[in-house]
């Protein structure tokens, strides 16, 4: 949407293809659903973009192998440039034994679930009483927030290979769950690892004081969930019962070693069992290799040859290592370019940088006629009709918004009401538009 904003303001004709019916990506399905002010502001901004006459929205259109459109079909439409801002839809794991057991979840799936993304919103998530979340970033906080405030589990433990000084969450975000922080258990945890922190010059008492200071402005407590941390602990195996259900994590004690200006966790070959009922891996994301772009090690490949421009064109150009050439007119932005890099503000900035790169590329091309634009649009709609794709335009989104605003959130729905399946959404869009 950031790319579309800049390029449409510059007078270019922009087609937005979206896998989901609703626009926004993680702004719609990633931000915690009770953050209504933030979500509302983003929606207003996006509506301002979609309502421009030179912006054309096609929702419910997926791109990739065995999808509605392939990359080759997109490139055959005659567009001057294509920007992939498909996010990081792949699932990143740490590859431990037992990670396919019942009760093992990936953070993205959980976030999609409580944000009611179709395909996830109506899927059962049996979490049990004690949930381990692997990772100590903002996603961990959101998941712990959901588990304590809405699922009301007995205990949530955030597990980190490194120590408390290396925690990654925003102190403002922790306010959502710090009322549930088991402060006594935290003090004992810091004491347990005190020698290992002091060995690298860290001050355990100061760290504990800093962590407790983050609890000054907690949101009201609404459950008796105990929230805590386990530091310097590396999950090695998911241990299961006779029914292949999670019963514990096998953990290895770690220590910190300096690594430049940072630290690294090093295993101590000391193992123990940590009983839990379920495990959520919140360890980052990778892109979806089935999209059909050059792919390597969890990311789409970009041009390794710097151009010297600012921002550097090469960072945003899709690149085929086999031929040693860029894909002409094919660009990457946001998490499709750099998975798990920052939140909404960072994504917006990345989109603006990408739009600058695309603008430089377009300046070197011949002007496109209105007839050519209309021909591309017709080829696109013809392809979608052939594929029997029920695509949704901006008018359809307005109809969906009208239908959802007439409903009240209930049950597992947090924040604003959302239909949980594409079939429901499409049904209400067509029902309202046929009146």
pLDDT tens column, 286-299: 999 999 999 999 99
Is residue 287 within 8 Å of 298, Cβ to Cβ? yes
pLDDT at position 56: 97
pLDDT in tens, 2-11: 999 999 999 9
List pLDDT tens digits, range 326-379: 999 999 999 999 988 877 889 999 999 999 999 999 999 999 999 999 999 999
3, with CB counted inside 10 A (0-12, 13-18, 19+), is buried
Output the pLDDT for position 339. 87
Q: What is the DSSP string of 68-119?
A: SB-HHHHHTT--S-EEE-----EE-----BTTTSBTEEEHHHHHHHHTT-TT
Residue 2's nearest CA partner among 409, 421, 263, 333 is: 333
Class in CATH terms, 93-283: alpha beta
Considering only CA atoms, give the Rg of the chain.
24
Is the pLDDT score of 435 beyond 70? no
Helix (H, G, I), strand (E, B) or coil at 328: strand
Rounded to whole angstroms, the Cα distance separating 106 from 280 reads 5
Please report the pLDDT score of residue 285 as a whole number: 85
Residue 107 binned pLDDT confidence (cut-offs 50, 70, 90): very high
- Domain residue limits, the chain: 2-89+287-391, 93-283
Q: What top-level class would CATH report for the domain 2-89+287-391?
A: alpha beta
As a whole number of angstroms, the distance between CA 190 and CA 165 comes to 11
246/266 Cα distance (integer angstroms): 26
């Amino acid at each position: 949407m950031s790319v579309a904003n800049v390029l449409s303001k510059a007078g270019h004709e922009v087609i937005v293809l979206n896998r989901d019916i609703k626009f926004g990506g993680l702004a719609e399905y990633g931000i915690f659903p009770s953050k209504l002010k933030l979500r509302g502001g983003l929606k207003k901004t996006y509506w301002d973009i979609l309502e421009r006459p030179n912006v054309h929205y096609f929702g419910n259109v997926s791109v990739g192998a065995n999808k509605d459109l392939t990359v080759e079909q997109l490139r055959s439409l005659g567009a001057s440039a294509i920007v992939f801002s498909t996010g990081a839809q792949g699932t990143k794991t740490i590859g431990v034994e037992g990670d396919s057991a019942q009760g093992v979840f990936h953070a993205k799936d959980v976030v999609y679930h409580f944000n009611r993304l179709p395909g996830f919103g109506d899927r059962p998530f049996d979490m049990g009483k004690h949930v381990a979340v692997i990772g100590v970033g903002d996603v961990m906080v959101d998941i712990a927030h959901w588990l304590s405030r809405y699922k009301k589990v007995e205990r949530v433990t955030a597990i980190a290979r490194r120590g408390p000084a290396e925690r990654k969450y925003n102190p403002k975000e922790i306010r959502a769950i710090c009322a549930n922080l088991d402060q006594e258990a935290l003090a004992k945890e810091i004491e347990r690892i005190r020698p290992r922190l002091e060995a690298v010059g860290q001050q355990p008492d100061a760290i504990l004081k800093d962590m407790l200071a983050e609890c000054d402005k907690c949101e009201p407590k609404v459950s008796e969930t105990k929230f805590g941390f386990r530091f310097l602990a590396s999950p090695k195996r998911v241990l299961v019962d006779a029914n292949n259900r999670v019963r514990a994590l096998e953990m290895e004690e770690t220590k910190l070693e300096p690594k430049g200006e940072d630290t690294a966790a090093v295993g101590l070959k000391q193992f123990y069992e940590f009983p839990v009922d379920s495990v959520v891996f919140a360890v980052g994301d990778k892109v979806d290799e089935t999209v059909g772009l050059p792919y390597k090690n969890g990311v789409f490949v970009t041009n390794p040859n710097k151009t010297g421009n600012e921002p550097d064109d090469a960072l945003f150009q899709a690149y085929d290592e086999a031929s040693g050439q860029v894909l002409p007119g094919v660009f990457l932005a946001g998490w499709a370019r750099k998975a798990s890099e920052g939140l909404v503000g960072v994504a917006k900035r990345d989109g603006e940088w990408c739009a600058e790169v695309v603008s430089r590329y377009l300046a070197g091309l011949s002007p496109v006629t209105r007839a050519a634009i209309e021909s591309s649009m017709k080829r696109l709609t013809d392809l979608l009709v052939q594929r029997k794709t029920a695509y949704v335009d901006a008018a359809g989104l307005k109809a969906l918004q009208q239908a959802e605003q007439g409903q009240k959130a209930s049950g597992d729905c947090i924040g604003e009401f959302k239909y949980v399946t594409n079939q429901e959404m499409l049904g209400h869009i067509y029902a309202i538009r046929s009146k």
